[in-house]
Amino acid sequence: MSGRAAERLVLGTISGGAGGDSESDLALATGLILQMDRELGLGRNGDGWLGPADIHRLTEEEKQRVRAKLGQAMNHAAKLLTPHIDQLDEVAAALIEIRELHGAAMRRLIAEPDRETTLSRS
């Protein structure tokens, strides 16, 4: 959800990048919320195990609960990211320019004061 929150903070809108097929970040986050409620004993059903959810047979109440939980996660991610908006803008600019940032390059970009030099070394 942090990627979607970052898109909203930087771009003012959300792209479809996190969504898509059943292996997408959004699908995995949705599945985790359903697992917490139905299988892991961490949600609405307390210690009850109700088995895996069939995404196509969710009640409207379950759908609303999932949407609310995803919204809460996105709001929490936005609160964590907002104090770092300047770095987030720089990461977004770097991604637009060079398309990919991997571990070490990303760490250098957000950790060093002279970030333009960092990008040229990546």
Give residue-wise pLDDT tens across range 43-73.
887 788 888 888 889 999 989 999 999 999 9
pTM: 0.72
Torsion angles phi and psi, residue 11, rounded to 5: -100, -15
Is it the case that residue 115 has pLDDT exceeding 60? no
Mean residue pLDDT of the chain comes to: 82
Other Cβ atoms closer than 10 A to 89: 13
> 3-state SS string over 33-70?
HHHHHHCCCCCCCCCCCCCCCCHHHCCHHHHHHHHHHH
